[in-house]
Structure formats: C-alpha cells, structure tokens
Amino acid sequence: MDWKEVLRRRLATPHNAPNRKKSEQELKDEEMDLFTKYYSEWKGGRKNTNEFYKTIPRFYYRLPAEDEVLLQKLREESRAVFLQRKSRELLDNEELQNLWFLLDKHQTPPMIGEEAMINYENFLKVGEKAGPKCKQFFTAKVFAKLLHTDSYGRISIMQFFNYVMRKVWLHQTRIGLSLYDVAGQGYLRESDLENYILELIPTLPQLDGLEKSFYSFYVCTAVRKFFFFLDPLRTGKIKIQDILACSFLDDLLELRDEELSKESQETNWFSAPSALRVYGQYLNLDKDHNGMLSKEELSRYGTATMTNVFLDRVFQECLTYDGEMDYKTYLDFVLALENRKEPAALQYIFKLLDIENKGYLNVFSLNYFFRAIQELMKIHGQDPVSFQDVKVTFFINLHNTR
C-alpha cells in the first residue's frame, strides 16, 4: 500500500489512533457506560430495568367531589367492605378461649409462684395449632419483647395473652373509629367524634343515670378533652392513630365497669360526676343565665383570685362572642388550669403570658402580670413579694431544668 494512502487514512480517523491519549471527559463517559452495563446485568438485565421504570405506579387518588354521588357511594361501600374484612380477621371470644386453652396445655415447668410460663419451643407449637389468625402473634420478635429475666428463657403465659388481647382490642377500636371517619383519610373531625361518643353512651353502664337532655353537654365535654390535647394546632381534626395511642379512650371505656369506685369516677374526666361538676360550675358562674360567661362572671372561677390583667388576656386570646365566652371555650380554660403540667396546657397559658407575641417571655411580660398580683395581695392584706426575688427564683429554676 502506498504510504500516501496510509497517511490519508490516519488523518481521516484521528479518534481511533492507538497511541492517542483520551481526554478526561471521555474517560468519565467510558467509566459511566461500564458502570451502567455491569449494574444493569447485576439487577437482572438492562432491558427489563428500563421497562420497569417506564411505568410509574399510581400514588395519588383524587377524592370524589360533592356532586359525584356515584363515586362517593362506591367509595363508602368499598370502605365498608374493607372494614368488614378486617373485622373478620380478628380473633373472636371463642378463638381467644381456645388460644388460652392451648397456652395452658403447653406451659413449661417450673412455675414462678402461681404464674405459668412457656418456652420458645412450646410457643411455636401453640402457634401451629392456634390457626392462621394467630400466626401474627407467634413470632420471634413478639417472644423477645416479652422475654425478661427468666433463667430458663421463658415468657409469662398471662403476659402474652394480655398482649394478644390488647392487640385485638386496638384493632377492634381502630375499625370502630374508622366507621365514623366520613372523609376516609384516617382522622376524625369534631362532628365525627361527637357521633361516636353519642352512640357509645348507651353501652357505658356508669352513664345510665344521665338524662337524655344532658347528652349534648356530656358529648361536648368529652370531645373537648380529645381536641384540646390532641389537636394543638387547632386544625379541627385528630388522627385515629393519636386517639388510640393516648389514654383518653381507655378512661372513657373504663365506664363500662359497673363496679367502678367513686374515687376513680371523680378523677375520670369522662365520668358522669365529673361532667356534671364542670357543667354545674359553668351554670353557677352564669349569673345572667344567657348561656355565656362575661369577664366579670369568669372572675369568680375557683377561689376568685384571678387578676383583671390575666382575665383580659384570656378574653383577648380565646374565641368569644360579643365579648363573652361559650361552653367550649370555657372547657379549654378549665382543662388548661386543671392540667398545668401537660404540654397543651402550657402552650395555652404561655400564649396568654406572651403579651407581645414574640414567642418568648421577657422581664417586661413577667412584671406586667406580677404587678397585678402584688395589688391583689395588698387588697387581701398580704405583704407583697418583691419582683426581684421572684425574677431571680424564676431564672434559677429555669436554668436548673436545662
């Protein structure tokens, strides 16, 4: 071959020259191509991977509008069928009794006092015999949760059975609450929770003495506690999950106990004596009998030692109607003062003390309220405390809590 021809071909294909040094960008591109090739082969083939990512699964479903009656009915029926199916998956009383019989039959000696125990081997045997509904409870994870300090590596049969009962109760309650979830989004609005409690009243023996004319006030009293503590942002709705996680529902359903002690009823916000006490106080404060409380009427609350400055802030920050407070707003006020250590109550009181809406309290804010307290102490013939002493004590305690 003529050397001229060879030179011409070399000049025509400069990028294929064997001794040419590749640029940094070309090296990166080659590296990325190799990585993509080997990664695709490792994941099962480049062709299948690309096809998978071409189809994005649907993750948003629009709620039907108010005028889409057929879609709303379809959605309600679908939810009802779904909840019924979930309800059938739960253990009934007969199945729970059978489970207890199997656990008792497979207990592992020796007993600890009067408490029967079971080891992991027998635990698995019971799981095989108990049926498919119980399968979720007979796992290594559940056994490890209940395993404490037993030298034989066993768990308490009673503790395990109580664990199963608690799980079943939670699922039953979740399904029951979901029936009132009109929106189907996992939360209850105020009207939804009111309907739930209203229909629950006949099943609570401790409320048998309530007159039907008082039902609406009782429901309002009960619902207000849920929303005051579980809806701090005042969105008007509460997650069903939050209702199940708190102890309020336990306190409410405690009223099913026909032998509930008087002491327990007095400390239970949902009991009939407690609801009648709170509503009775409201009526006693309402001197003009217009169903609302003015600032002057609220000033007689408790020991009638609230300052005018504090009362002014209550009526400035809380929802009022023509300068007067309704029963719902009064309930928030009572819940805050009776539960001062709770975060929701502290948030309520802090909002009243933060007169400049700065999100923090300064010396001016504290002194503003303290001057009114000093004047009240003088009226009652008490020696007023120095604000300097209170300020020092306040900041010392605040420093020690950090």
Q: Which residue has the higher pLDDT, 104 or 393?
A: 104
H helices of 113-214, where?
Answer: 120-130, 140-146, 157-178, 190-200
Least confident of 183-197, 291-305, 312-326, 366-380: 366-380
Sequence-ordered list of residues with C-beta below 8 angstroms from that of 70, at least 6 positions apart, any chain? none
Burial-class residue 330 by CB neighbours within 10 Å (0-12, 13-18, 19+): buried
- Residue 340: pLDDT over 60: yes
- In single-letter form, the type of residue at position 234 comes to R
Contact 217, 229 (CB under 8 A): no
- Residue 346: pLDDT over 50: yes
Average pLDDT over residues 299-321: 92
Q: Which residue has the higher pLDDT, 12 or 371?
A: 371
Least confident of 157-161, 183-187, 345-349: 183-187
Most confident of 10-24, 70-84, 106-120, 265-279: 265-279
- In single-letter form, the type of residue at position 304 comes to A
Quote the percentage of the chain above a pLDDT of 70: 88
Q: Which residue has the higher pLDDT, 257 or 24?
A: 257
Model confidence band, residue 46 (pLDDT cutoffs 50, 70, 90): very low
The Cα–Cα gap between 232 and 348 comes to: 9
Least confident of 44-48, 62-66, 228-232, 320-324: 44-48
* 156: helix, strand or coil: strand
pLDDT, residue 399, reads: 46
Enumerate the β-bridge partners of residue 237.
189
pLDDT, residue 393, reads: 61
- Whether omega for the bond prior to residue 110 falls within 30 degrees of 0, making it cis, is yes
Enumerate the β-bridge partners of residue 189.
237
- Residue 321: pLDDT over 60: yes
- Residue 374: pLDDT over 90: no
pLDDT, residue 12, reads: 65
Model confidence band, residue 338 (pLDDT cutoffs 50, 70, 90): very high
Task: Tell me the CA distances in angstroms from 20 to 34, 131, 363, one per residue in order.
Answer: 21, 73, 77
Least confident of 34-48, 95-109, 254-268, 380-394: 380-394
* Residue 162: both structure tokens together: 């109580």
The Cα–Cα gap between 83 and 43 comes to: 39
Least confident of 155-169, 277-291, 382-396: 382-396
Tokens 């640029």 correspond to what residue?
Answer: 23
* Residue 286: both structure tokens together: 């309402």
Contact 154, 119 (CB under 8 A): yes
- Residue 18: pLDDT over 80: no
How high does pLDDT run on average in the chain?
A: 88
- Residue 324 φ then ψ, to 5°: -125, 155
pLDDT, residue 198, reads: 96
Contact 116, 157 (CB under 8 A): yes
- Domains of the chain (ranges plus CATH)? 89-172 (1.10.238), 183-285 (1.10.238.220), 363-400 (no CATH)
**Helix H or strand E encompassing 322:** none
- In single-letter form, the type of residue at position 244 comes to L
Dihedral sign, Cα of residue 158, residue 161, residue 162, residue 163: positive
